[in-house]
Amino acid sequence: DEGHHHHHHQQLQEGNGNGNGENGSGSRSGRTSGSQSVGARLIVALDKEVVAMVERDGFDEVTKTVKKQVKQEMDTHNKLSSELRRKECALAAYKATDSSRKDMLEQLNSITEYLQTHDMGDGGGDGDGGGGGE
């Protein structure tokens, strides 16, 4: 009886896989654009390096440093490197959330988790399976 039960369970799982596959193929196309734009922007905004710097030197100190770097780059090259732009974004995001590093990292984690479950999670992988089946 137990053997029978086990077999039944596997069939259930296959069923699930196929179901997800159908959605997956739909959400997979959205995945790149969705996760790249919104997700990446959010994660870039909460840049870990900047969070660490703020934690170490304090928000005002880091802001001063970054502003100085920004000014130097603008004077020298008349444009900002993507790294500095990222730092600026991160500081802005930090200021907007105005929270301790712990909250910040939790936010980062929950955003990452959100992306994994909604954008790049099982839906995407199963999508491949579904496509193959078709």
Indicate the pTM of the whole model: 0.39
Tell whether the model's pLDDT for residue 108 goes beyond 70. Answer: no
Which of 20-24, 40-44, 51-55 is predicted most confidently?
A: 51-55
Neighbour count for residue 44 (Cβ, 10 Å): 14
Computed over every residue of the chain, the mean pLDDT equals 61
Distance CA 125, CA 28 (A): 8
pLDDT in tens, 61-100: 988 998 899 899 889 988 878 788 878 877 777 776 655 5
11 within 8 A of 116, measured Cβ to Cβ: no
